Chains A and B, each alone.
Chain A
Amino acid sequence: MAQYDNSRTGANARESQLTPGRVSSGQFGLLFSRAVDGYVYGLPLYAPNLEIPGRGKRNVLFVVTTTNRVYAFDADRPDEIAPLWSLQLGTPYPLNDLWRAPTMGIQSTPVIDLVSQTFYCVALIQSGQLQIFALDLATGASKFNSPGSFRFPFASGTVLTSVPGAIQRPGLLLSGGRIYVAFANIVEDPQNGLSQEGWIFSRSATDVTQELNRLQVTPTGLKGGIWQAGRGLAADGAGNLFVATGGGFFDGLSNFGSTYLKLSPNLAVASFFTPSDFDTLFHSNLDPSATGMLLLPGTNLALGGGKTGLLVLLNQASLGGLETSASPPFQRWDATNGCGYTDCGQTLSLAYLAGPGGGRLFVADRGDGIRSYTFDGSQFNPMAASVSTMTSPLTAGLSISSQGSGAAIVWALTQNLQTGSDPNFQPQPGVLRALNPDNLAQQYWNSDLLAGQAPGDFVKFTSPVVVNGRVYVPTSSSRVAVYGMTCAQPAPTDLRVQYSGFRFDRATNRFLQNLTLSNAGAEAITGPFYVALANLPAGTELANRSSATNCALPASRPALRLEGPLWLLPGQSTTATLQFAAASTAQIRYTAQLLNGSGGL
């Protein structure tokens, strides 16, 4: 899902392979790319260990394009270029605007239900219809009565079923058996420049034609689109939604433009916070929806922002209503340069790293650096703890990886800083950067360090997706770039090995020995797995070695790649058989080194 979780933290705290030391070791880089046929506006999604008919178990990367194509790629194997399956979901809506993609088909991050093995996405097709699709993860087959179409009934009696120019940018939300989809720019009256309405719908996850609830942000007013710079709709554990609306009409009764909303699972307004200057925000086009809301893990607090560069910290239980001098937000501070009170195209990218006793928020803004703010468990320190020395013309996309509370990496997808053309209208090369969260001026690595490492052209509202030792970068260059360790790395110490004795195979004259690898830890350990042998006596050979270590250190050790599971869950084990050519078992002595991860030996 977008930003890894329904709190939309933007942090994957279960990444064990990519540590700061490894990323800066010189063994991190571009592994391969997956070719697609258009801009990738939605974030790539990842599903582990899927059983693909005729292919076996695969980790799968799902990619959608603005041309309305969905791809399911093998997420690991560089040489498996062709998708496992792909589908064209209707001819995309033909919008030729260089600021946006050449076509506006799928514009948002889809969502995956691993339980029902279903992939959901929303596409704008040529007729102007907006459709939601439910596809089988393993095959792409339609399910749950897919597709379902959206219709927009206005108070005037107008019902729109064709919405040219509709914007469906927020990442989809799966919560409580429902799929939530939000829209901006639903135009009832093309003659009225302010007729750009915001809507949100819920659909049954098991019948995408079944509309459960809907909310129009400004049913008797104007605007109030929900776009959130692509961030996903947030939800708490009870299924309440947290949504930021764009500038629009506000009356606190039924119209909620320029507002942070808490909605019940049935899309009833449960609470809201509206800044006291909402009218200015409306008429100056200063959308709070220039970013989505972020629910701070382990707290009852929610964070919102917008084009002004101000961030607000709100109580999730009751967001606070219309702001007055007596009822300010829990906290508000200038987190980025923003654009003050001038109409602008600012968007904010947010990512939050939880830690003992608090956490850190990372914020990127258009034309600004990346800043971090520390959270003490109740409030943020409004003084930036760290600021990057580089800036990105369009807002950098942020993502965080760490293993629990261990050393983290802030990943940023920025525009290339050397190009001088207008970032709005000309394609700009993108740069993937790995930053030190304690000192954002320090880059562990970036894709401009070596030739041939760049991901492709930058695409706005996107961020790197870090999972299972790889970094997936969407682009507008018709590809997704895949980064990772170029060599397998020493496996975590939780991966234990047990050695059997020997059996002599009279057919091959080899001694056979089984090695059983077990995950003794509490987190999954990812493959592929390798066993490299050191100190084998002269005259003794690992007869079934896959190869020798080359880039994995130390080099030149015979090694075996285990043809086993892609993942070892806690408590799981897998067994490999080593075959030795030796004069006797007395000559079979070695030290085993366990390796795992992408990049080979």
Chain B
Amino acid sequence: MKLDRPISLAICLWWGIALQAASIGVILDTSGLPPGSFSLDMQLLDGDGVVNNSVTLQNFAFSGLTLNALSRSGNATGSPATFIAISDGNPAPDPFSGALQGFTASAGPTSIQLVIIYSENFAGGFPDTISISLLDGSLTALAWLTLDLGTPSVLTKQSGGGAVINTSFDVPEPGLPWTVALGTMLVAKLRSMTRDQANARANSR
């Protein structure tokens, strides 16, 4: 096995990011939607009764779509222009924490992209759930993605109404000890290999 130093560093960096929080890239192909008003519904709902999770939604890209009003409830802050952060609290009187971004679709290829970065803590019982839903003008869900933060986490996707949900990548769960250990060992091994290769190059001179 021969690895160049830049690749090794890239892998290390990737693992470093992965170990901090799990993330999922989401691409919503909305090209099939009829022209009209729609909303992107983003929620983090508590299930286990413990305020122990948060989600950051970032890197939004609404391609070919016109943004309308944004509304937030509960412990949701921010906007798609930067990021939206939500925690799993239940702040009365709001029934849940979430954000609703309205937009207008028109003919042509359109899409929504974002990255979900989230923590995964589960205190037992029902899991907390992150959901990203595409709603029509009557707030009926046409397509959605849910991520149950249980043990294990469960991702489900439901396309419909002319929208197709794709997740671009799923990242190993950092909370699992074996993945942390594996990542640490991999980083150490790569470091060792690059050091050995450097030594070999030095010795060959």
Contact = CB atoms under 8 A, between A and B. Distances in A.
Contact of B96 (A499, A500, A504): A504
A538 interface: no
Given A501-B127, A501-B146, A503-B129, 9 more contacts: A501-B47, A501-B128, A501-B150, A506-B135, A582-B95, A583-B95, A584-B90, A586-B46, A589-B125
A506 B49 contact: no
B96 A585 contact: yes
Interface residues on A, range: 10 to 19
B110 to A, nearest CB: 22
Contacts of B126: 499-502, 513, 585, 588
A582 B100 CA distance: 20
A585 B139 contact: no
Contacts of B96: 502, 504, 511, 584-585
Contact of B149 (A501, A584, A585): A501
B118 to A, nearest CB: 13
Contacts of B92: 583-584
B174 interface: no
5 contacts: A501-B128, A503-B146, A504-B43, A506-B139, A589-B125
A563 interface: no
B47 A585 contact: yes
Nearest to B146: A503
Contacts of A589: 125
Contacts of A503: 43, 45, 129, 131, 133, 144, 146
Contact of A501 (B98, B133, B141, B148): B148
A327 B90 CA distance: 86
A524 B127 CA distance: 29
Interface residues of B, number: 31
A505 interface: yes
B140 interface: yes
A326 interface: no
Interface in A548-601: 582-586, 588-589
A507 B45 contact: no
Contact of A511 (B45, B135, B146): B45
Given A584-B92, A586-B49, A502 B141 contact: no
Interface of A: 499-507, 509, 511, 513, 582-586, 588-589
A506 B92 CA distance: 17
Given A501-B149, A506-B41, A506-B139, A584 B127 contact: no
Contacts of B135: 506-507
B138 interface: yes
A584 B95 contact: yes
B154 interface: yes
Given A506-B41, A585-B45, A585-B90, A500 B129 contact: yes
